[in-house]
């Protein structure tokens, strides 16, 4: 197994709106769609479509078969996707005409993982790498268990939660954040300062990656941050899942032994395709079109 992803699985309730709802307002959505999502599920599907063998560790409720089936369709191993008594996690997503989104999540079953389930999965697969976000419980424990086993650890602390700074970030090999997370974690302004501050929370060798949507991607590998321009996109439809798509294809590039530049560009190219269509997992490019 190449990668274990300990991650969320969400039902995404997506509302096309004229503008993001403001306090006290009731607004009629122009359109509603139910999509599959969750940062975890999206990243597993992106990793699989980018050519890696992936096992997903997570939990769903009795309403979550659609999520399980979506992983299976992409050949993601679901042996350790558990059924919980709670409902599956879900997200309420507003999307405006420019394709920008605003998301509220409710953890549900995503928050019911046990340490035994994590250990069983790690012992069973013996993967090379692990990826983790902030939508499940036991983040700290997951990071430490992965470190004990010598895995290459990719951490995407999204959405940012106040405890993130207290996690053992020194074990992280690759940290991937967006502008909002970078600002909240560092209280610095500007990508270069933010990257240096992020590294101080981690390890001197941690590769820090800052994704900035249409402003491209910044990377701090050695001492000097480097910037990569985003691919031009004619019509942005929905940016949901773009970050997850970047992570899956970028990670796959690194784990396939690509040079950093090439892996970043692969991630950005895949994300630029993702934002031209609606939905999160549904909009991740397949290996054929990529």
Point out which residues bind ligand RIB (CB under 6 A): 8, 10, 12, 37-39, 42, 91, 103, 105, 135, 240-241, 243-244, 280
Please name which of 264, 213, 271, 265 lies closest in space to residue 245, comparing C-alpha atoms: 271
Please tell me which residue in 63, 173, 244, 261 is annotated as part of the active site: 244
Of residues 77 and 135, the one with the C-beta less far from ligand RIB: 135
Distance separating alpha carbons of residues 45 and 270, to the nearest angstrom: 12
Distance separating alpha carbons of residues 137 and 111, to the nearest angstrom: 5
Of residues 146 and 281, the one with the C-beta less far from ligand RIB: 281
The β-bridge relationship of strands 217-220 and 226-228 is: antiparallel
Query: Min. distance of Cβ 134 from ligand RIB in angstroms?
Result: 10
Of residues 37 and 157, the one with the C-beta less far from ligand RIB: 37
Q: Give the helix ranges, DSSP H, for the chain.
A: 39-49, 65-73, 115-125, 139-148, 179-186, 191-201, 242-255, 260-274
Query: Min. distance of Cβ 158 from ligand RIB in angstroms?
Result: 7
**Greatest Cα pair distance in the chain:** 52
Of residues 34 and 123, the one with the C-beta less far from ligand RIB: 34
Query: Min. distance of Cβ 192 from ligand RIB in angstroms?
Result: 25
CB-based burial of residue 82 (10 Å sphere; 0-12 exposed, 13-18 middle, 19+ buried)?
middle
Distance separating alpha carbons of residues 152 and 117, to the nearest angstrom: 20
Of residues 230 and 242, the one with the C-beta less far from ligand RIB: 242
Query: Min. distance of Cβ 243 from ligand RIB in angstroms?
Result: 6
Query: Min. distance of Cβ 150 from ligand RIB in angstroms?
Result: 29
Side-chain half-sphere exposure of 259, counting CA atoms within 13 A: 2
Distance separating alpha carbons of residues 12 and 238, to the nearest angstrom: 13
Please name which of 16, 34, 26 lies closest in space to residue 96, comparing C-alpha atoms: 16
Distance separating alpha carbons of residues 107 and 145, to the nearest angstrom: 22
3-state secondary structure of 242: helix
Distance separating alpha carbons of residues 210 and 49, to the nearest angstrom: 23
Query: Min. distance of Cβ 10 from ligand RIB in angstroms?
Result: 4
Of residues 12 and 181, the one with the C-beta less far from ligand RIB: 12
Distance separating alpha carbons of residues 92 and 13, to the nearest angstrom: 5
Give yes or no: 244 in active site: yes
Active site residues: 244
């Amino acid at each position: 197994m190449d990668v274990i992803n300990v991650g969320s699985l969400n039902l995404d309730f997506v509302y096309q709106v004229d503008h993001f709802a403001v306090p006290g307002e009731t607004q009629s959505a122009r359109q509603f769609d139910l999509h599959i999502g969750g940062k975890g599920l999206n990243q597993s599907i992106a990793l699989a479509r980018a050519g890696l063998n992936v096992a997903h560790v997570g939990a769903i409720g009795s309403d979550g078969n659609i999520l399980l089936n979506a992983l299976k369709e992409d050949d993601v191993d679901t042996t350790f996707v558990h059924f919980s008594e709670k409902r599956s996690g879900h997200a309420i997503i507003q999307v405006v005409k420019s394709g920008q989104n605003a998301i509220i999540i409710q953890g549900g079953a995503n928050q019911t993982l046990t340490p035994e389930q994590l250990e069983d999965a790690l012992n069973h697969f013996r993967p090379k790498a692990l990826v983790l976000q902030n939508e499940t419980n036991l983040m700290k424990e997951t990071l430490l268990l992965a470190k004990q086993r010598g895995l290459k650890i990719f951490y995407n602390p999204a959405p940012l939660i106040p405890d993130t700074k207290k996690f053992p970030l020194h074990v992280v090999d690759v940290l991937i954040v967006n502008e909002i997370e970078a600002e909240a974690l560092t209280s610095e302004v500007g990508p270069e300062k933010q990257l240096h501050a992020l590294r101080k929370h981690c390890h001197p060798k941690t590769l820090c990656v800052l994704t900035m949507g249409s402003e491209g991607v910044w990377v701090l590998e050695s001492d000097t941050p480097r910037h990569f321009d985003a691919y031009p996109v004619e019509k942005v439809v929905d940016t949901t899942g773009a970050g997850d798509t970047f992570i899956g294809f970028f990670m796959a590039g690194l784990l396939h032994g690509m040079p950093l530049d090439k892996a970043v560009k692969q991630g950005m190219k895949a994300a630029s395709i993702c934002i031209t269509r609606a939905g999160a997992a549904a909009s991740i490019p397949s290996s054929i079109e990529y």
